[in-house]
Amino acid sequence: MSQNLQQRSGLMEGFADIQMQLRATINKCGIAGLLLGFGLFWSVAGVLLTPSMKFYSWLLTAFVYLPCIYLLFKRFGDFRETLLSRRELWLFLLVFVWSMVSLIWSLGAEQYLTLIKRHLFFLSLLLGWIVWGRMFNRQLQGMFILWGGLAGIYSLVALIAYPMRGLDRLYGFGGFMDNPNPAGYTIAFLVVLSCTWWPQRTGARVVWALLQACSIAFVVMTGSRGSLLSLMAVAGFVILMGGGRLYRVLALIMMVAAALLMVFEPSLLERGDSERLTLIRGALALVQQHPWLGIGLDSSYAINAGGVVFDHCHNFILDTAVQYGVIFTALWLVVWGWVGVRAWRYRSQTLGMAILMAWVFATVAQQFDVFTLFGRARAMWMVVWMPFVLCLCLGKVRKEDLVR
């Protein structure tokens, strides 16, 4: 009886906390803030749940773009304070404007108004994260937990259905997740964001550990070597610089499991470099042809590797250099390094450590797969941009959220 009463009281406390957070959001920002909070949750959760890309975009328009524009005008003073105090945001806006101006010399880009609208919408998504996240750090970290639990449940369903789907490499269900690589990166990234939180009670810890294990098993079954290598990099980083014995033990277990996977699943290594070196050489040749300004926003290019023509080079930095030139790429690397340094300074706090691990994951991931700097929100947008926007939310992290 006493255990049941404790569980009920725990649930009541949880519901009361949710109600309190909803009231705090409405009091600070009104209904627009509440809508934006849901929209930002959807911007990540929708990658897993959306039945179609159009449906995903419609909800972003209703719950992110419009509320964000309203709040930017209503709370422009707060945003101006952020802009004046965070120089990396200045540099980001310079990079963003440069990418838009590159339409002037773009090779073969069409539908300029559509491209400009798409970029401005994407900018409003990023600004929405900055405006909302700086005001609601506690709710922001609560989102990580919800995403982690959602990723675990999604992975569990996919693993149960796997024998019936007749797949060689596991992937998700429709929408953005119908390809093994985006599916692997998405789930792996959500594991990294949410793994800094563990429940206090033993039973809840067991459930949470099982959900995280399902997510990692899903990533392994996708056969996405880039996402696995990125997870291993995070595990190695935690072992060296970790925030507690529990995290180091879990990271060590992950490293040992990865080594055993390579031994008992040699097909991962037998796939070779998947023409990555050839793609890199082709991209370097294109950079040499247009070194300073690149080929411009949305310009297409082709690289022949092993008899297959690719419209990308599987390397984020080189793709950026091809599109925008080496000076632009150097500016972006300064922004990215700035994010890593700031996250490092906040590593003693829960949010800061989560961002630092996400930054390590993204830094490795960008070397191996298809990521673009600007464009529409899609499956892997969060890998590039989530560390950046979360870094700009660090200014108001509370002292009681320190890692113990």
- If we measure between CA atoms, which residue out of 198, 204, 45, 64 comes closest to residue 122? 64
Q: How far is it, in rounded angstroms, from Cα 245 to Cα 404?
A: 10
Tokens of 288: 């040499």
Q: Residue 147 falls within a domain, yes or no?
A: yes
Q: Residue 139 falls within a domain, yes or no?
A: yes
**Residue-level pLDDT at 370:** 64
Q: Residue 293 falls within a domain, yes or no?
A: no
Cβ neighbours, 10 Å, residue 83: 15
**Residue-level pLDDT at 149:** 93
pTM for the model stands at 0.88
**H or E segment at 225?**
helix 225-241
Q: Give the residue, 237 or 244, on which the prediction is more confident.
A: 237
Q: Residue 380 falls within a domain, yes or no?
A: yes
Q: Residue 277 falls within a domain, yes or no?
A: no
Cβ neighbours, 10 Å, residue 297: 24
Tokens of 376: 């529409």
Q: How far is it, in rounded angstroms, from Cα 46 to Cα 147?
A: 10
Domain that holds residue 322: 13-272+313-401
Mean pLDDT of 361-384: 81
Q: List, for residues 54-102, the tens digit of each pLDDT value.
A: 888 899 888 988 888 888 887 777 777 777 778 888 899 999 999 999 9
Judged against a pLDDT cut of 50, whether residue 147 lies above it is answered with: yes
Beta carbons within 8 Å of 357's beta carbon, 6+ residues apart: 192, 193, 195, 196, 234, 237, 238
Q: List, for residues 311-336, the tens digit of each pLDDT value.
A: 778 889 999 999 999 999 999 999 99
Question: Which amino acid does the sequence have at 146?
Answer: L
Q: Find tokens 């937990």 and name the residue.
A: 145
Q: Residue 236 falls within a domain, yes or no?
A: yes
Mean pLDDT of the chain: 81
Beta carbons within 8 Å of 119's beta carbon, 6+ residues apart: 96, 99, 100, 374, 375
Tokens of 355: 């961002």
* Rounded (to 5) percent helix, strand, coil in the chain: 75, 0, 25
DSSP code at position 176: T
Give the pLDDT band (50/70/90) at residue 3. Answer: very low
**Residue-level pLDDT at 336:** 94
Total domain count for the chain? Answer: 1
CA 324, 329, 332, 338: dihedral to nearest 10 degrees?
Answer: 180
The answer to whether the CB of 169 falls within 8 A of the CB of 40 is no
Tokens of 329: 């790429």
Q: How far is it, in rounded angstroms, from Cα 361 to Cα 230?
A: 5
Q: Give the residue, 198 or 251, on which the prediction is more confident.
A: 198
Q: Give the residue, 307 or 393, on which the prediction is more confident.
A: 393
Write the CA distances from 57 to 21, 31, 51, integer angstroms: 27, 21, 11
Most distant CA atoms of the chain, gap in Å: 75
Q: How far is it, in rounded angstroms, from Cα 79 to Cα 305?
A: 46
- If we measure between CA atoms, which residue out of 79, 2, 3, 64 comes closest to residue 33? 64
- Which range is most confident: 114-118, 150-154, 220-224, 382-386? 150-154
Give the pLDDT band (50/70/90) at residue 5. Answer: very low
Rounded (5°) CA angle 398-400-404: 125
